[in-house]
Amino acid sequence: MNKSLFDVKMWVKDMQQGKRIALARIITKIENRDVEVPELMKEIFPLTGKAEVLGVTGPPGAGKSTLVDQLIYASRAEGKKVAVIAVDPSSPFSGGAILGDRIRMQRHYGDTGVYIRSLGTRGKHGGLSHSTKEAVMALDAAGFDRIIVETAGVGQTELAILKLAQTVLVVLVPESGDSIQVMKAGLMEIADLFVVNKSDRPAADQLVRELVVMVGMNSDHEAKWSVPVLKTEAVKSVGIDAVMKSLSEHQSYLDESHLRNQKRTSFLSEEIEDILLEKFTQKIKESLSSKKGKEILSDLTSGKITPYDASGLIFKI
Ligand SMILES: Nc1nc2c(ncn2[C@@H]2O[C@H](COP(=O)(O)OP(=O)(O)OP(=O)(O)O)[C@@H](O)[C@H]2O)c(=O)[nH]1
Ligand SMILES: [Mg+2]
Spatial contact of 32 and 122, defined as CB atoms under 8 Å apart: yes
Check pocket membership of 88 for ligand 1, CB cut-off 6 A: no
- For the chain, strand residue ranges (E) read 52-57, 82-87, 114-119, 146-151, 167-172, 193-196, 229-231
Mean pLDDT over 277-299 rounds to 94
Check pocket membership of 166 for ligand 1, CB cut-off 6 A: no
pLDDT at 132: 93
Closest-lying ligand 1 atom to the alpha carbon of residue 236: 31
Q: Would you kindly state where each structural domain of the chain is located, as residue ranges?
A: 8-257, 272-316
pLDDT at 2: 46
Check pocket membership of 200 for ligand 1, CB cut-off 6 A: yes
Of the ligands numbered here, which is closest to the C-alpha atom of 234? Answer: 1
pLDDT of 195 over the 90 cut? yes
Q: Whose CA is nearest to atom 3 of ligand 1?
A: 198
Residue 60: which pLDDT band, with cuts at 50, 70 and 90? Answer: confident
Residue 94: which pLDDT band, with cuts at 50, 70 and 90? Answer: very low
Residue 230: which pLDDT band, with cuts at 50, 70 and 90? Answer: very high
Alpha-carbon span 250 to 225, nearest angstrom: 8
268 Cα–ligand 2 center, Å = 27
Mean pLDDT over 288-311 rounds to 97
pLDDT of 53 over the 70 cut? yes
CATH number for the segment(s) 8-257: 3.40.50.300
65 Cα–ligand 1 center, Å = 7
Q: Whose CA is nearest to atom 13 of ligand 1?
A: 63
Task: Say which DSSP state 111 is in.
Answer: -
Task: Say which DSSP state 226 is in.
Answer: P
Pairing of strands 167-172, 52-57: parallel
Closest-lying ligand 1 atom to the alpha carbon of residue 100: 16
Alpha-carbon span 163 to 204, nearest angstrom: 28
Residue 200: which pLDDT band, with cuts at 50, 70 and 90? Answer: very high
pLDDT at 123: 52
Alpha-carbon span 244 to 77, nearest angstrom: 11
Residue 156 has phi, psi (to 5 degrees) of -65, -40
pLDDT of 108 over the 90 cut? no
Task: Say which DSSP state 1 is in.
Answer: -
234 Cα–ligand 1 center, Å = 8
pLDDT of 295 over the 70 cut? yes
pLDDT of 107 over the 80 cut? no
Cα 131–Cα 154–Cα 186 angle in degrees, nearest 5: 110
Sequence-distant (6+) residues with CB within 8 A of 250 are 167, 192, 193, 225
138 Cα–ligand 1 center, Å = 29
Residue 73: which pLDDT band, with cuts at 50, 70 and 90? Answer: very high
Q: If DSSP codes are grouped into helix, strand and coil, which group holds residue 238?
A: strand
pLDDT at 154: 72
Sequence-distant (6+) residues with CB within 8 A of 301 are none
Alpha-carbon span 18 to 85, nearest angstrom: 17
pLDDT at 158: 80
**Summary mean pLDDT of the chain:** 88
Q: What is the pTM of this model?
A: 0.90
Alpha-carbon span 241 to 282, nearest angstrom: 47
pLDDT of 102 over the 60 cut? no
Residue 149: which pLDDT band, with cuts at 50, 70 and 90? Answer: very high
Check pocket membership of 57 for ligand 1, CB cut-off 6 A: no
For the ranges 42-56, 68-82, 118-132, 206-220, the lowest mean pLDDT is seen at 118-132
pLDDT at 125: 54
255 Cα–ligand 2 center, Å = 30
For the ranges 137-151, 176-190, 191-205, 283-297, the lowest mean pLDDT is seen at 176-190
For the ranges 72-76, 115-119, 291-295, the lowest mean pLDDT is seen at 115-119
- The closest alpha carbon to 169, from 226, 243, 225, belongs to 243
199 Cα–ligand 1 center, Å = 12
pLDDT of 194 over the 80 cut? yes
Share of the chain above pLDDT 70, in %: 88
Check pocket membership of 174 for ligand 1, CB cut-off 6 A: no
Closest-lying ligand 1 atom to the alpha carbon of residue 69: 15
Check pocket membership of 235 for ligand 1, CB cut-off 6 A: yes
pLDDT per position as a tens digit, 8-23: 999 999 999 999 999 9
Alpha-carbon span 275 to 272, nearest angstrom: 5
Check pocket membership of 110 for ligand 1, CB cut-off 6 A: no
